[in-house]
Structure 1
Amino acid sequence: MKKDGSRLEDVGPWLKLNMAPLLPVQLHALISDFGSPVEVLEASYEAIGKSLGIKEDRARDLIEKIRRIDVDKEIEEIGIRGIKIVTYMDSTYPSCLKAIFDPPLVLYILGKFPFPDKNNLAIVGSRQATLYGRLMANSLAKEIAGFGVSIVSGMARGIDTAAHRGALEGGGWTIAVLGSGLDIVYPAENAWLMKEIVASGTVISEFPLGTRPLRQNFPRRNRIIAGLSMGVVVIEATRRSGALITTEYALENGREVFAVPGRIDSRYSEGTNSLIKQGAKLVTNVRDILEEFSHISPLDEEPSNKKGEKNLRVTLEGDELRVFEFLDFEPRHIEAIIHDLGIPVQRVVTALTGLEIKELARQLQGKMFIKKNRWA
């Protein structure tokens, strides 16, 4: 076995089983009964049928179908793409993932490996996230990455993308779990993000190469996200959001669940606000998360990516302070700022410029401005 995974010449039987039309829990049951993938593939139809609780003729069809799988082509493509393969029995298989009810039989991995097996936090939420939600995901991920916490998410649009980018901007490790094969980037616009993650973090999937991002794949992906993490933070989710499936897996496996509150009149906050009602911990800053994991870093310490910085709020005064306190995480037009505060145009422009230099405000298109950072 290689230090960072299995040798390709040894993984054929594992890949064959992983490509079979069976659920992970069924595959693990077979290996438990017969001892190894090789012995599963060599077992009699009768024995396979007995193990799976199916008739012998169905077992025959299943095993013959598995035996016909062209695993050599899969192995060749894995080698060409520089993908690492880690099987359930490898010493480098993540122990936190091995502890869940139905861990993946095989992990396809691009990027750095082994990846962190502890101190991982999942940040998930709506694909149709609001600007507020994306800002919160980015900000939380960036700050908590400074405490040595790796950010796990699904590389989907919206909250997932913002969380991955926040971790990268914070100089931290991020792990993207895909609901497709590693050769298929979904969504397509995240191709560059995936390259960035591979360069400094990890992208993983349990699905064989060529697997399309089908709807039924994402609950399976979500169980891996929860399994890799010590807790799951949800930022914006409708009542039927897939992010809530991730929290269900987290609870089933004894992981913490957190939720960032949202506007009570927004459908994208219905899921998160409901989680809070049901007992999820309300998050308004990073410390709300860290106090549940006191082993990570003393709460009176600054994250490593902020050490040496002063609390910039104490340096704000006059127009800058008034404008900063007026700004929100929803965009506000410069004319609204001028009108509502009653400050002359030039002074507002000067104040906004100062806040942008201090990285406390950000200008959007159309002379819209938002507050950039939160105060813990």
Structure 2
Amino acid sequence: MHADDRLDWVALSLIPGLSSERLRLLLSRFGTPDRIFATPPSALATVVQEALAHAISARRFDGAAVETTARWLEDPVNHIITLADPAYPRCLLEIADPPPLLYLKGDPAWLGRPGFAIVGSRHATVQGRRDAMAFAEALSRAGLCIVSGLAVGVDAAAHEGGLAGGGGSIAVVGTGLDIVYPAANRALAHRLAQEGLLLSEFPLGTPPRAQHFPRRNRLISGLSRGVLVVEAAPRSGSLITARLAAEQGREVFAVPGSIHSPLSKGCHRLIKEGAKLVETAQDVVDELGVGASAAFPESATQRAVSQEAERCLRALGHAPLGLDGLVARTGLTPERLSSILLELELAGRVAVLPGGLYQAIF
């Protein structure tokens, strides 16, 4: 599509008050944006409200924003694809509300790979982040492109794993692509632009707004053959993605956890509602029928600790535990245990969780 044609799409999408749904109706009735702009208001008013019809006919869009987008498109890493483009992802045409245009930063070819979403808590534990990265890397090696939302926690770990596995990663964001949110993931966003893809339906300059993130979740699931939830609280936004995935006919998977962990409750609820419990990446591959195997990458060699610390680690087990509980299991004094736990934490074998809990890292 010629650059001027893409800018007509941008201009039409920037008409104040014109929803994606109404824009698609206009496209269906009158054709391309240039034809819509040339259509008399009286005809446009058969599809949209009269005031909106006159705004379209008068081209009442933000001209400066269109010029900014034109300059942005001069960078070869930046792209816009529209519903009229053959490159528009067919999987998004299957969802209820496909965006009329998509802003891309990176290589659009990643949209042609089978996608798989991994989402979860922004406040993930160390173990949760490691699990997300391991699942992502294994599934990436099996030929799936990892899709997530660029949030801190599980999302960021999933992107890292997807890039490490060579199968690529797509970040669907809730801002314009000239804004990196959260700022803590700036380096990751730049790496995705070079080795994967950033995608947004929002115009350049769109700031992070609360209502945008649930909306972008339908694209995360829509781009994917399935969604895996790793650690989610009962009201987590990840559960919205899982619900949308089920509504779109995608497979939903969840990683179980300790019954004592608040971040396991969302996953356990999904499993009760019919999500598939997974323990290994191969469980996902078998369910989706992907050809390649998906063995977990070998863990890095863990730092050695004292024999006493190893005994303490075994006593800690797989579920988070407080100091009092560990005292009861080991018979050691709180003072001695505090010293051992510090040794384990410095060795990367134990993580300290909110509420004074400790979790072994495997």
Amino acid in structure 1 at the alignment position of 2:241: T
Overall identity of the aligned pairs, in %: 39
Confirm or deny: 8 A CA contact 1:118 1:229 kept in the other structure.
Answer: no
Q: Provide, for residues 92-119 of structure 1, a one-character-per-residue CA deviation record: whole Å limited to 9, x for no partner.
A: 1111122222111111111122114342
Runs of 5+ in structure 2 lacking a partner? 302-306, 333-339, 353-357
Q: Provide, for residues 257-276 of structure 1, a one-character-per-residue CA deviation record: whole Å limited to 9, x for no partner.
A: 11112333333333221111
Count of residue correspondences: 340
Q: Please give the secondary structure, in 1, of the residue aligned with 2:267.
A: helix
1:246-265 to structure 2, matched below 5 A, reads 246-265=241-260
Q: Provide, for residues 57-104 of structure 1, a one-character-per-residue CA deviation record: whole Å limited to 9, x for no partner.
A: 343245536445342332113324741111111111111122222111
Runs of 5+ in structure 1 lacking a partner? 1-5, 313-317, 343-347
Q: Distance in 2 between matches of 1:268 and 1:280?
A: 16
**CA 1:209 to 1:320, structure 2 compared with 1: closer, same or farther past 3 Å?**
same
Q: CA deviation at 1:211?
A: 0.6
Confirm or deny: 8 A CA contact 2:127 2:361 kept in the other structure.
Answer: no
Q: Distance in 1 between matches of 2:246 and 2:57?
A: 35
Between 160-169 and 239-248, the greater mean CA deviation after superposition: 239-248
1:1-376 to structure 2, matched below 5 A, reads 6-20=1-15, 21-52=17-48, 54=49, 56-61=50-55, 63-64=57-58, 66-67=60-61, 69-70=63-64, 71-80=66-75, 82-297=77-292, 301=293, 303=295, 328=318, 340=330, 362=349, 370-372=360-362
Q: Please give the secondary structure, in 2, of the residue aligned with 1:79.
A: coil
Q: CA deviation at 1:362?
A: 4.8
Between 120-129 and 244-253, the greater mean CA deviation after superposition: 244-253
Q: Please give the secondary structure, in 2, of the residue aligned with 1:11.
A: helix
Amino acid in structure 2 at the alignment position of 1:64: A
Q: Please give the secondary structure, in 2, of the residue aligned with 1:128.
A: coil
Q: Provide, for residues 220-259 of structure 1, a one-character-per-residue CA deviation record: whole Å limited to 9, x for no partner.
A: 2111111100001111222322212212221221111111
TM-score, normalised to structure 1's length?
A: 0.78
TM-score, normalised to structure 2's length?
A: 0.81
Q: CA deviation at 1:178?
A: 0.7
Amino acid in structure 2 at the alignment position of 1:284: E
Q: Distance in 2 between matches of 1:155 and 1:132?
A: 19
Q: CA deviation at 1:180?
A: 0.4
Q: Distance in 2 between matches of 1:325 and 1:146?
A: 32
Q: Please give the secondary structure, in 1, of the residue aligned with 2:110.
A: coil
Confirm or deny: 8 A CA contact 2:231 2:264 kept in the other structure.
Answer: yes
Amino acid in structure 1 at the alignment position of 2:114: N
Q: CA deviation at 1:364?
A: 6.6
Q: Provide, for residues 324-369 of structure 1, a one-character-per-residue CA deviation record: whole Å limited to 9, x for no partner.
A: 8666486999xx79x9499xxxxx9xxx9xxx9xxxx75779xx99
Q: Please give the secondary structure, in 2, of the residue aligned with 1:50.
A: coil
Confirm or deny: 8 A CA contact 1:41 1:63 kept in the other structure.
Answer: yes
Cα RMSD, aligned residues only: 3.5
Q: Distance in 1 between matches of 2:278 and 2:321?
A: 22
Confirm or deny: 8 A CA contact 2:172 2:199 kept in the other structure.
Answer: yes
